[in-house]
Amino acid sequence: MDCLFCKIAGGDIPGDIVHQDDEVVAFRDIAPQAPHHIVIIPRRHIATVNDLDEASHALVGRLFLVARNIAAELGVAEDGYRLVMNCNSHGGQTVFHIHLHLLAGRAMGWPPG
Ligand code: 5GP
Ligand code: ZN
């Protein structure tokens, strides 16, 4: 499968990996939108949030747990951070392997663009 994030998770393309376990990999975004910008993905290929089902939805909870742990390790948990998952064109999704963005290190605006 020609998927950028599957290749990063599999080590075929280098990534600045900050966490990996049996189910989840997290690495620094190549075009950071905040002082800390981490992308957290399941190893399993799921293209979009629309493709989640009963067999895969618990993985999303794992992504959030990993995000929480990384935020604590980065020392940003108390100041706060933003978690974002974009879906399809109106959501701004450009890589079709679900991923949770962890943005931290500055105050975020609302609403997002
Ligand atoms: P999306 O727009 O799909 O929500 O997020 C995709 C993210 O992947 C973007 O923030 C983009 O900067 C990041 N990205 C795209 N290509 C690469 C890459 O080769 N390496 C890394 N680390 N991040 C990438
Ligand atoms: Zn993939």
Task: Return the domain boundaries, the chain.
Answer: 4-104
Closest CA to 96 of 63, 30, 33, 50: 50
Q: Assign 3-class secondary structure to 53-75.
A: CCCCHHHHHHHHHHHHHHHHHHC
Are 103 and 52 spatial neighbours (Cβ–Cβ below 8 Å)?
Answer: no
Residue range 55-111, pLDDT digits in tens:
999 999 999 999 999 999 999 999 999 999 999 999 999 999 999 999 999 999 999
CATH classification of 4-104 is 3.30.428.10, yes or no? yes
Q: Which numbered atom of ligand 1 lies nearest the CA of 93?
A: 3
CB 37 within 8 A of CB 102: yes
Q: Which residue type, as a one-letter code, is found at position 65?
A: L
Candidates 36, 45, 57, 99; catalytic one: 99
Q: How far does the chain reach from its first CA to its final CA, in angstroms?
A: 31
97 in Cβ contact with 3 (< 8 Å)? yes
- pLDDT bin (cut points 50, 70, 90) of residue 49 is very high
Q: Which atom of ligand 1 is nearest to the CA of 95?
A: 3
CB 5 within 8 A of CB 99: yes
Q: Is 4 in the pocket of ligand 1 (CB under 6 A)?
A: yes
Q: Distance, CA 72 to ligand 1 centroid (Å)?
A: 23
Does the C-beta of 27 come closer than 6 Å to ligand 1?
yes
Residue 97 Cα to ligand 1 midpoint, Å, equals 10
